[in-house]
């Protein structure tokens, strides 16, 4: 279980929403979140070079806490208990390692959804009613959590002190915050995959030289989304409050980056 955090406790009054909680006042009580989990798994080693692990879990949260928007400003709102939510899924990992080659694959599946119906203000959701509210139903997916993730990595040790490798991570679609009912016209964020390359070299016993390239192909992707109002709809994207329109704002993923590191450690 977890008790409500100070930020959640000081920003829990629908009549006094906050954009950045900075005072500790006596807002309405927020119940603690109770999580009940059942988990199991198995690890296998069919051979000295091969390892397999499988695990599954089911977590039910009672009185889960959500940040509910209170108006047109998406960063202003309050925390409230919204009933029961579910996180259920499984993880599978397969790894093979020899003296010259290391391969690994990991897949995760998570079913994260609301189990208790509730109404929430979401003025930028295209399915809102006349009061700017949406109805969240049991089975709607929780925003910000991709259902599937796949990660692959391979490393070739071509010399006693040198190796090169490649990695790739793929993330399934996820819904934007404000689309808790999963009915907004923009739909979920697109799935994306990102590649990584790395190399290591040890010139001596105490020195390590490494090179890593993240997002090798400079892929443009978004890892988070939020429904909001775009006020820059005038000529040349100028400010025009009268022409504001609801849009899905996306958080851009990190571009290609190169990391070179030299490390010394006395052994």
The residues facing 36 across adjacent strands are 60
This prediction's pTM: 0.83
Contact between 179 and 140 under an 8 Å Cβ cutoff? The reply is: no
- Right CATH for 6-264 from 2.40.170.20, 3.30.360.10, 3.30.750.24, 2.30.110.10: 2.40.170.20
Contact between 190 and 248 under an 8 Å Cβ cutoff? The reply is: no
Q: What is the pLDDT of residue 41?
A: 97
DSSP 8-state secondary structure symbol assigned to residue 28 = P
CA–CA gap between residue 117 and residue 139 (Å, rounded):
9
63: left (phi over 0), alpha (psi -120 to 50) or beta: left
The residues facing 81 across adjacent strands are 65
Cα separations in angstroms, 249 against 133, 165, 175, 255: 19, 35, 12, 18
Contact between 244 and 230 under an 8 Å Cβ cutoff? The reply is: yes
* Stretch among 70-79, 212-221, 228-237 having the lowest mean pLDDT: 70-79
CA–CA gap between residue 56 and residue 3 (Å, rounded):
26
Contact between 250 and 189 under an 8 Å Cβ cutoff? The reply is: yes
Q: Which residue has the tokens 């925390």?
A: 79
According to DSSP, the β-strands at 133-136 and 257-264 are unpaired
Rounded average pLDDT over 138-156: 96
Rounded average pLDDT over 110-124: 93
Residues 53-98: pLDDT tens digits?
999 999 999 999 887 776 656 666 778 888 999 999 999 999 999 9
First CA to last CA across the chain, in angstroms?
Answer: 43
């Amino acid at each position: 279980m977890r008790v409500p955090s100070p930020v959640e406790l000081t920003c829990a009054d629908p009549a006094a929403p906050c954009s950045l909680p900075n005072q500790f006042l006596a807002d309405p009580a927020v119940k603690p979140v109770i999580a009940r989990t059942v988990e199991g798994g198995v690890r296998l080693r069919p051979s000295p070079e091969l390892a397999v692990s499988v695990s599954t879990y089911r977590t039910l949260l009672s009185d889960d806490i959500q940040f509910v928007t209170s108006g047109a400003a998406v960063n202003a709102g309050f925390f409230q208990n919204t009933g029961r939510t579910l996180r259920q899924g499984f993880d599978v990992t397969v790894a093979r390692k020899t003296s010259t080659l290391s391969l690994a694959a990991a897949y995760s599946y998570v079913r994260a959804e609301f189990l208790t119906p509730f109404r929430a203000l979401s003025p930028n959701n295209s399915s809102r009613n006349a009061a700017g509210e949406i109805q969240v139903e049991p089975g709607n997916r929780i925003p910000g959590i991709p259902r599937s993730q796949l990660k692959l990595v391979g490393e070739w040790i071509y010399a006693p002190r040198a190796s090169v490798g490649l990695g790739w991570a793929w993330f399934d679609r996820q819904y934007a915050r404000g689309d808790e009912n999963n009915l907004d016209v923009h739909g979920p964020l697109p799935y994306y995959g990102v590649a990584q390359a790395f190399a290591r070299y040890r010139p001596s016993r105490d020195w390590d030289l490494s090179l890593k390239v993240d997002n090798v192909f400079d892929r443009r992707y978004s890892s988070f989304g939020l429904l909001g109002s775009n006020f820059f709809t005038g000529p040349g994207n100028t400010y025009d409050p009268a022409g504001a329109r609801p849009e899905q704002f996306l958080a851009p993923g990190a571009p290609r980056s190169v990391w070179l590191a030299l490390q010394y450690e006395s052994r």
